[in-house]
Amino acid sequence: MYDTSSNFLNVHEWAYGATEVVHILSLAVGIGFIALVDLRLLGVGLARVSAERLWKATAVASLMGMVVAVTTGLLIFSTDPLRYFEHPAMRFKLVMVVVALAFNYTVHSRVIRAGYSRAISAGVAAFSLVMWVFIVFSGIFYSFS
Amino acid sequence: MTLASIGQSIQHLGLFTAVRESRLVYPILLSTHLACVAVFGGLILITNLRLLGLALEDIPAADMIRSLRPWKQLGFVVMATCGVLLGASKASEYLPNPFFQIKMGLLIAIGVHGVYFRRSVYRTREPIAATQAHVAATVSLILWVGVVSMGRWIAYYDAPAPAQVTASVTEPGAGSH
């Protein structure tokens, strides 16, 4: 049986806090760069740079941000997996993260590279943005309920 | 008069009491505050990467700064509005909190940074000198990382409980950013 009391993050409060800080900073990098491309697809921001160009310029940094965010998220989850898993807001967040990541690296990237119509591109960008914002909201709402 | 008692006076104003006592408004404001960090953080990051010469080098940095400015300003206004409502609604906890004080100091430093580099980097139409660009971007990144880090760390401060002040200690995991 997994004993959470021996988890490093539970033993050292500073380590838990530091992991949360890295989680938020890496989310800002990961989501921030995806949002930058989404905003461009919606006609906001860097008008003289194509969405595909922006995607290529930020894809590696965004992926690195996501890898760190997921890793630190799992570390936080490991401090009390049962409590996290049983909470509806956290379940919603976990499902949304999987869906949003899958969407980002399939439909989202395909639409950016293939140059679909403006309406389709804007719809995909809006859907992507809404999913990431929901993920942030569900993480906070978990703490308050 | 202590910071905690000044905070008590602020948080008892009607608007801030309503925010604090609402089950939904406080977490919605906090979520929006954090979502702004995530969504608009990309605009700050790409600007700094361009100034450092690490991305989109063929795009003039001055053009990028000019075209992203209104969206950064919009994001900052939403983020700051949420932040003020969150901070003021629990001002007796936040004002004496050293991490909150450091966060406010860093936000002031970001303002000073913007003014200092205004002519040479952020409002120039001329090509930006590489040294100035690198210094401005590095300082900006350090300050923003500091702001986000201190925001999370606010929740980890265990305030001493003086007899006259009824400030409660913020629970880790349920605090502000």
Would an 8 Å CB–CB cutoff place A36 in contact with chain B? Answer: yes
The answer as to whether B171 is a domain residue is no
Q: Which of B68, B145, B156 sits opposite A46 (nearest CB)?
A: B68
| Residue B134 lies inside a defined structural domain of this protein | yes
Q: What is the mean pLDDT of chain A?
A: 93
Chain A / chain B CB contacts < 8 angstroms: 113
Output the pLDDT for position B173.
47
Q: Which residue of A has its CA nearest to B64?
A: A46
Tally of structural domains, chain B: 1
Q: At what angle do helices A13-41 and B130-153 cross, to 10 degrees?
A: 130
Q: Which residue's structure tokens are 């807001």? A: A89
B83 in any annotated domain:
yes
Share of chain B above pLDDT 90, in %: 67
What pTM was computed for the model?
0.88
Answer whether residue B5 shows pLDDT above 90.
no
- Give A69-101 pLDDT, tens digit per residue: 999 999 999 999 999 999 999 999 999 999 999
Domain that holds residue B23: 3-156
Contact B45, A32 (CB under 8 A): yes
Average pLDDT, chain B: 88
Q: What is each CA distance from A128 to A25, A49, A71, in whole angstroms? A: 20, 20, 21
Q: State how far the Cα of B93 lies from the Cα of B15, in Å rounded to an integer.
A: 17
* pLDDT over threshold 80, residue A1: no
Smallest CA–CA distance, residue B42 to chain A, in Å, is: 4
Q: Do residue B40 and residue A132 have CB atoms under 8 angstroms apart?
A: no
Q: Scanning every residue of chain A, which has its alpha carbon at the shortest distance from the alpha carbon of B173?
A: A143
Taking only the tens place, the pLDDT of each residue in B82-113 is 999 999 999 999 999 999 999 999 999 999 99
User: What residue segments make up the domains of chain A, in order of their start?
Assistant: 9-143
CA-based nearest residue in chain B for residue A48: B59
More confident residue, B5 or B65: B65
Taking contacts as CB-CB distances below 8 angstroms, the residues of chain B near A133 are 35, 38-39
Instruction: Show residues of chain B in contact with A57, CB under 8 Å.
Output: 46, 55-56
Token pair in block for residue B44: 């700050």
| Predicted confidence (pLDDT) per residue in B20-52, tens digit | 889 899 999 999 999 998 888 899 999 999 999
Within 8 A of A58 by CB-CB distance, chain B residues are 42, 46, 55
pLDDT of residue B82: 96
Closest CA to B93 of B140, B155, B14, B22: B155
Amino acid, res. A37: V
